Amino acid sequence: MSAYPYLAHWKEEISQSPNAIYMTLADALALSIRKGDLREGDRLPPQRTIADYLGTNLTTVTRAFTEARRRGLIDATVGRGTFIRVGAGESHWRHTGPAVVDLTMNLPPIPQEPPLQRIIQSDIAAILKQQDLNSLMSYRVTGGTLEERQLGAKWIAPVIGQRRTEEILVSPGAQSALAAIVSTHTQPGDVIVTDRIAYPGIRTIAAQFDLILVGVDSDMEGMMPDQLDRVCAEHHPRLLYCIPTIHNPTTATMSLQRRKDILAVAQRHHLHIAEDDPYSLLMDTPPPALAALDHSRVSYVATLAKTLSPGLRTAYVALPNADMTRRVAAAIRAIALTNAGLLSALTARWMQTGQAHTILHAI
């Protein structure tokens, strides 16, 4: 285990300590950080490897990692592993090496005012008193109930305008909605055009459905219409994916004229648009969505992950017509089946009581 020399110290600490092994292991981890044996951003070995070396069971190591996470020493991500957290330990200020900044995901802050934890506890309790538990814990209607779709239409109206309820769906997150829209408009081998510097989520969708991504150059306002026109003439894409407002990851926002120019190119090439809009409602005066400027050409997705919380697993989808709504709903059902009942009830309650706008304002 020469690759992990600190494990020998951990083993010695465990052999000498009268305390529970998992607590001793968490203490030893903290000491390794303070001594500089482990630094911010260092990846820890797999838990099973640690358990085998220390001669203990996997459950004990898991409990130790849980305790270390509670102390703010480590972060863990499924598929990536466990890392020493930036800022971990009392002497982190002594570290002069480069810090590790994770840019793979951006999250809204958890508001302290209003106190989100207290709100959730109170509202969940109220929901359980007022609604049938069997209904909350059962499978839901794909695309949301009539009331949930009406609430969704009202939430996104400031950006896309008034929409009929039959053109609105509720999806368990934006990624499943985008996957449903893409799969509805494409076949394997088709081309999707997007920004050359693109949101990673569209890359995973394209890979899953065996689609070809072609990038378009951008300027300070985002995708350039003349470049889109050139790419469309050359590659004949089936779909355009874009984030016109606060683009991820460049943060570029299209002006109104740029939006009109992009739509003109799409119309000329008979191109449907998947518009991803996580951020507009964070702005005081958001520009109109592409879906507001061209109702018939744009499928619009607005997640609540950035405006309220990713934990709600909710996105609102506006489609060009009722037929497209039925097709995308069928695709969502195939991909994700339905929303979670308890989260849907909490989201609806926040929309009904105005709490959603209070939390949005705080974020």
Compute the distance between CA of residue 245 and CA of residue 251 in angstroms, rounded to an integer: 8
C-alpha dist (Å) from residue 265 to 89, 128, 234, 236, 305: 54, 51, 13, 12, 31
Does the pLDDT at position 217 exceed 50? yes
Q: Please, what is the Cα angle at 114 between 109 and 117, to 5 degrees?
A: 75
Structure tokens at 29: 């981890």
Residue in the structure block whose two tokens are 């109220």 = 126
pLDDT, mean over the chain: 92
Nearest to 254 by CA among 209, 298, 317, 195: 195
Longest alpha-carbon distance in the chain: 76
Query: Helix, strand or coil for residue 84?
Result: strand
Query: Helix, strand or coil for residue 215?
Result: strand
Q: 129: phi > 0 → left, psi -120 to 50 → alpha, else beta; which?
A: alpha
Contact 254, 244 (CB under 8 A): yes
Contact 150, 170 (CB under 8 A): no
Tell me the torsion sign for CA atoms 294, 297, 298, 299. Answer: positive
Specify the amino acid at residue 180: A
Q: What is the pLDDT of residues 165-186, one digit of tens each?
A: 999 999 999 999 999 999 999 9
Cα(first)–Cα(last) distance of the chain, in Å? 46
Compute the distance between CA of residue 176 and CA of residue 190 in angstroms, rounded to an integer: 19
Specify the amino acid at residue 253: T
Higher per-residue confidence, 93 vs 168: 168
Query: Which residue intervals of the chain bear CATH 1.10.10.10?
Result: 6-94
Burial class (CB in 10 A: 0-12, 13-18, 19+), 300: buried
Does the pLDDT at position 34 exceed 80? yes
CATH topology of domain 116-362: Aspartate Aminotransferase; domain 2 (3.40.640)
Q: What is the pLDDT of residues 233-280, one digit of tens each?
A: 999 999 999 999 999 999 999 999 999 999 999 999 999 999 999 999
Does the pLDDT at position 96 exceed 50? no
**What is the total residue count of the chain?**
363
Does the pLDDT at position 92 exceed 50? no
Compute the distance between CA of residue 352 and CA of residue 350 in angstroms, rounded to an integer: 6
Compute the distance between CA of residue 307 and CA of residue 361 in angstroms, rounded to an integer: 9
Q: What is the pLDDT of residues 275-309, one digit of tens each?
A: 999 999 999 999 999 999 999 999 999 999 999 99
Query: Which residue intervals of the chain bear CATH 3.40.640.10?
Result: 116-362
C-alpha dist (Å) from residue 124 to 87, 287, 343, 345: 34, 35, 9, 9
Structure tokens at 200: 């990673």
β-strand partners of 171? 315
Contact 182, 274 (CB under 8 A): yes
CATH topology of domain 6-94: Arc Repressor Mutant, subunit A (1.10.10)
